[in-house]
Chain A
Amino acid sequence: MFTTQLLDVVTTAGVLYIVALGLLIVYGVLKIINLAHGAFLAVGAYAGVVTTGLGWNPWTALLVAFVIGVAGAALVEWRVLRGLYARPMDTILATWGLNIIVVQLITLYFGREIRFAESAIGRAVNIGGATYSEYRLVLLLLAVVLGVGVWLVMQRTQIGIVARAVIMNEELAQALGINTRLVRFVTFGLGAGLAALAGALLTPLVSVHPNLGVPWLINAFMLVLVAGVSLLNLALAALVLGGAQVLVSSYGNPVLGSLTIVILAVIILRFRTITI
């Protein structure tokens, strides 16, 4: 029982981390909350449906989802968001509007009924005396890989240094000759690509329908509010809030559990002294 619960906590944190990562990156660099994040999750999930429907290997869905997410985001950043950075409130409207448009387009093409994507792994494995879903363990591994990958990019590459400069002080970065427009463009693409990738990764766990992104968006939003722009904080927030959700659901009930993330986020925000 203890092993299972420990695994529940860490794998739930892993899933939350994967889902929130794209949102955090966009928030960090662009200073906007991408409310179309849920729509990109759905896009990725449907990429999984289509690729496995074509009989391709389920893992290829990840690549397809990422590419489609980046391409869609590039178009949106170029035609919609670019003109709105000076008006942050309007970006909220624009990205939420985009969310509605994308969800409706998906509904028009695929219909409202649920879809199904083939899972790469459907079996359970024995770990520490407990039988556990192998796929959730793989997700945990992927969360770590993605986290470390993005961290390395930010710390060790030219792109990362430029992005960090923009995060810290955009005007100064601009003055130093950094093309902030390009940085924004690339970051938004990467963030949306990661969202679509997360959507494809979710399909073996949940059924696919046009609105599947909304509840995930809410949780990811809370995590990012708590974590600010730090990748490490995000991991910590996913572990604490996700863990609390699992434990409250286990020892209390899942109805309370689903409130845990929101309530804890509010409490943490109230008492957090360090601002980002």
Chain B
Amino acid sequence: MRERWTDHRSRSLATLLVVLSVAMLPAGAVQSQDKGPIVIAVPVGLSGVNSVVAPAVVQSGELAVEEINAKGGVLGRKLQLVPLDDESGPAGAVKAFNTAIRQHKAHTIITMETSAARNAGAPIAERAKTLFIYTSFYEGRACGKSLFINAWVPEQIVPPLIKFMTDDKKVKKWFALGSDYAFGRGMIEAAKSTIKGVGGTILGEEYQPLQQSDWTAIISKIRAANPDGIIYSTSGGGPNIDFMKQFKAAGLKMPVGSLSIDELTAEAGGDAAEGVYYTGDYFTGLDNPENRKFLDAMRKKFGAGLKTPNSLSEPEYDGVYAHAMAVEKAGTTDVDKLVQVLPTIVFKGPRGQVQMNKQHHASLPVYLAQVQANGKTKVLKSFGLVDPGNQCPSLK
């Protein structure tokens, strides 16, 4: 820009003035914004299907913001967290993203959402040149210039679990089942391709409608097939417990790997899910200094109102930190600069080391866990950093 301008010195004074005044406009706007806080919007499912987990997401974000502000903020500016309700769906997400960008002048959106809500919101953030860090595990392959993801995709969670059950539990013949919806089927597809890769066979594959809570027919099929082990992926929450209760009441005893259970659900189910193996990137029982510090700080800040942190809520904390570090390093909230800088940021948080440098996705520490007799989850071992694979080949 500057070179061309010097080439045209002979232009009239009037043109020069027009150019100068136009050039001044955005500079003035940036300056006035520089004084205020850096606004991070969190459009999350405060109502609807995500309303169980949404409060925990907001709490994770609030803690990160409080900690960063206590140390003087970023570039001398405070961070401000604005939680918004995306109603767990695309229509609500469109409203929430527009409110975040137009009304709250959000610099960045950092949130956990349903995939439908993310797909609706991401283009709005992209058009408004707003950085969007998505903190929910999901089915994979969501790509955008200003979209970054710091949670797991199936490639990171499924193969370690299948390989563990094959090697340590000697499962060769499998029975795969799930709830009949995109994510459940996607996870089972990933499991099947891993099973084939390690030389296992699949004796049966069954899906159950989302509303149906009686697993009788599928359980009878499992009994008839008599597999060495089970891999399942229901929809989140209750269906995990429905299936496990009925599975056990039927007297079946083979090892079970779950692609859909989480700590809160397992605990709510008491002994129903005892023995179930599952993999994940975050567990409250992770024994590292960052996680202990995180959990202590959460307990101190929220006391009795604390919503138990989990693998859907903790990445929000990492996301706010990674964003703050990127802004500090870039010296600006300008999205084009942040997109360059963010992949170079390494944040060592409660999950372990997280860096969003794999086509806007992150290699993540993956752990194996097992549900205990009291419903609590015990972390058995770590698989180290697991690569997300080729998620967005068109992005660097």
Which residues of A pack against B, CB within 8 Å? 1, 4-5, 8, 11-12, 15, 111-116, 118-119, 121-124, 131-136, 204-209, 212, 214-215, 245-246, 249-250, 253-255, 257-258
Q: How far is the CB of B327 from chain A (nearest CB, A)?
A: 35
Q: What residues of B have a CB within 8 angstroms of the CB of A4 in the complex?
A: 220, 223-224
Determine whether the beta carbon of A255 is less than 8 Å from that of B237: no
Q: What residues of B have a CB within 8 angstroms of the CB of A118 in the complex?
A: 270
Inter-chain CA distance A134–B237, complex, in Å, is 25
Determine whether the beta carbon of A258 is less than 8 Å from that of B211: yes
Inter-chain CA distance A8–B222, complex, in Å, is 13
Interface string of B210-239 (1 = CB under 8 A from A): 011110111011011000000000000111
Q: How far is the CB of B315 from chain A (nearest CB, A)?
A: 20
Say whether, besides A116-B268, A135-B249, A207-B269, A12 and B216 are in contact (CB < 8 Å). yes
Q: How far is the CB of A136 from chain B (nearest CB, A)?
A: 7
Q: What residues of B have a CB within 8 angstroms of the CB of A133 in the complex?
A: 246, 249-251
Which residues of B pack against A, CB within 8 Å? 51-52, 180, 206-209, 211-214, 216-218, 220-221, 223-224, 237-239, 241-242, 245-246, 248-251, 264-265, 268-270, 272
Some 7 contacts from A to B, beta carbons below 8 A apart, are A8-B220, A121-B249, A134-B249, A205-B249, A249-B217, A250-B217, A254-B206
Q: How far is the CB of B117 from chain A (nearest CB, A)?
A: 17
Q: What residues of A have a CB within 8 angstroms of the CB of B239 in the complex?
A: 207
Residue from A114, A122, A245 within 8 A of B268 (CB atoms): A114
Determine whether the beta carbon of A12 is less than 8 Å from that of B180: no
Say whether, besides A122-B249, A133-B250, A206-B245, A215 and B216 are in contact (CB < 8 Å). no
User: Closest residue of chain B to A214, judged by CB?
Assistant: B211
* A/B pair count, beta carbons within 8 Å: 117
Inter-chain CA distance A214–B213, complex, in Å, is 11
Determine whether the beta carbon of A254 is less than 8 Å from that of B250: no
Determine whether the beta carbon of B237 is less than 8 Å from that of A113: yes
Determine whether the beta carbon of B249 is less than 8 Å from that of A123: yes
Inter-chain CA distance A131–B248, complex, in Å, is 11
Determine whether the beta carbon of B250 is less than 8 Å from that of A112: no
Determine whether the beta carbon of A249 is less than 8 Å from that of B218: yes
Inter-chain CA distance A212–B208, complex, in Å, is 16
Q: How far is the CB of B229 from chain A (nearest CB, A)?
A: 18
Q: How far is the CB of A10 from chain B (nearest CB, A)?
A: 11
Determine whether the beta carbon of A116 is less than 8 Å from that of B264: no
Q: How far is the CB of B31 from chain A (nearest CB, A)?
A: 46
Q: How far is the CB of B13 from chain A (nearest CB, A)?
A: 67
Q: How far is the CB of B267 from chain A (nearest CB, A)?
A: 9
Which of A204, A249, A257 counts the most chain B CB atoms within 10 A? Answer: A249
